[in-house]
Copies of this chain bind each other. A is one copy, B any other.
């Protein structure tokens, strides 16, 4: 079974007009994605941000829950947040996943605009193989990953489709659906 790593990318992503931006870290993304990660057996969840102050903010959210009052208040939350590692860039996430598993992870791009991409069924099957390489799934904030992130990926997953043309899911919803399709029972 392939081990799964998630990376929530805040740069380079695009805004509603397709411009390259750096988005802000939100504490809710950390909580929601950590809980989904923990539920689906994700090995580590990387929060990727190039700005030191933003990484500090993320660490302060984690410390609140890991160390202080929060720890005694809600242990299930801590158990999830313990999966988070705050890193400056994608390279750092790849290196950390490689250190954890001894193998370079396959970098998997996700996008609501992906027209081709590997099907979830094919990806799930591939990940179920005995000697499957770990996968690092990239999730874009804002209006999605910038083209530069696509170029760093080894493969792309098909877009999540609902029942019509509308597919403007939040990153929190999209990530949980992706994990469920790849590893849910």
Contact = CB atoms under 8 A, between A and B. Distances in A.
Given A168-B38, A170-B32, A180 B183 contact: no
A173 B41 contact: no
Interface stretch (A53-61, A88-96, A146-154, A159-167): A159-167
Interface residues of A, number: 37
Given A170-B35, A170-B172, A173-B35, A163 B183 contact: yes
Query: What DSSP secondary structure best describes chain A's contact surface?
Result: helix
Contacts of A173: 32, 35-36, 172-173, 175-176
B161 A184 contact: yes
Interface of A: 16, 28, 31-32, 35-36, 38-41, 74, 76-77, 79-80, 160-164, 166-170, 172-177, 179-181, 183-185
